Structure 1
Amino acid sequence: MALPKQVPPFQETSPCGKYQRLHAELVDPSDDLMVQWKAEGQRRSGADGAPVPWLNLTAHTRVPMVCQRCLSPVDVALDVDRWFRFVADETTAASEDEEAEEDVLVASRDFDLHALIEDELLMEIPVTPRHEVCPAPARFSAVDPDFDASENAKPNPFAVLKQLKPNEDK
């Protein structure tokens, strides 16, 4: 029996809370945040002509983060569109992954697609999330009026010493 060249896509929209590590990165996690994803398998001919399983994964979500410029909330789009090629073992994966354009994964019966989706979304989080244009100007000063007021209220140590000096007018 010949294996099909194309496997029908599997897609789902699931709550962001299902992905605990991603959920922990959010500034304001809510139950209505959703992750949309689609996984589609293919069999392609390998170098030796034998069929090789491939997976195309696309995923999208918008997550609340903190803008690193103005420190206010910003919604960040996370978009994944990646191809994965499956190999038989870790040794093959390690040797082929460096040279391959696609990501190389080990085929396994206990493959966790949701963990792969979460890993890929986590890698899409920008190092410094920020607005294209911040809604309010960023503050570039760390002036604290209370701190300045307490500094001004302290007596000058030289003025205190001057009071201890004997009066020379006598």
Structure 2
Amino acid sequence: MKHKPLDPRRLDVAALAQRAEQLSGEWPLADLERLADAAVTSAPTFASSVVRWQVTGDARPVKGGAAEIWMHIAAEVTLPLCCQLCLGPVATEVTVDRWLRFVADETQAAALDADSEDDVLALSRELDVRELIEDELLLELPLVPTHEDECPEPLPRPADDLDETNDETPAANPFAALAALRKPN
């Protein structure tokens, strides 16, 4: 029996799991608008950045009940993010490797999500895999992107630092002045 091909933009997750099929592909970073907004679009690598992804369905048998629907998602992209030290672009590898369990409705998903360490979603007729992968990659972005070793170009020094003299005189201790006030005359 020939099956209808699966569309990652309108994926029937139950069919993917029942067939134990796998879908994979690449999308240009620019096509994932929210993820592209987090990147430095002026970086030379932005135009060639692609998101590589793969989803695999799995119907896990349950004793005395219907099989559980699971989907494994894996994705990776090298994003040019803004280094928070030098403010230049830094190539940052962002990856996702996660299993998701699908259940009948939102109520059941909320109940299981609270009681389980598994990631649980409500099953819908159509799932936009690109949107799901974009969400998962956004969750994996580093809070403070920085160059791993040293920034290629140091930040310019503020004007105050440039006017310093090489005077080796130590700064006066503010507590010494207080101590002098306490001494009786």
Report the counterpart of residue 134 of structure 1 in structure 2: 150
Query: Is 1:25 the counterpart of 2:42 in the alignment?
Result: no
Deviations 1:22-50 (A, max 9, x none): 01111126332100000000001247532
Query: Is 1:70 the counterpart of 2:83 in the alignment?
Result: no
Structure 2 unaligned runs (5+)?
A: 1-15, 164-185
**Structure 2 counterpart of 1:97, one-letter code:** D
Match 1:79 to one of 87, 91, 95 = 95
Q: CA RMSD in A?
A: 2.5
Report the counterpart of residue 4 of structure 2 in structure 1: none
Checking the alignment, whether the CA contact within 8 Å between 1:5 and 1:44 is kept in structure 2 is: no
Match 1:112 to one of 124, 128, 135 = 128
Q: How far 1:110 moved relative to its partner?
A: 2.5
Moved more, 56-65 or 108-117: 108-117
Q: How far 1:84 moved relative to its partner?
A: 0.2
Q: 1:67 to 1:4 in 2, by over 3 A?
A: closer
% identical equivalent positions: 38
Query: Match of 2:115, SS?
Result: coil
- What's the TM-score, normalizing by structure 1? 0.75
**Structure 2 counterpart of 1:19, one-letter code:** L
Q: For 2:81 and 2:96, locate their aligned partners in 1 and report how far apart those are by CA, in whole Å.
A: 18
Larger CA Rg, structure 1 vs 2: 1
Report the counterpart of residue 143 of structure 1 in structure 2: 159
Q: For 2:121 and 2:64, locate their aligned partners in 1 and report how far apart those are by CA, in whole Å.
A: 19
Q: 1:23 to 1:131 in 2, by over 3 A?
A: same
Checking the alignment, whether the CA contact within 8 Å between 1:62 and 1:77 is kept in structure 2 is: yes
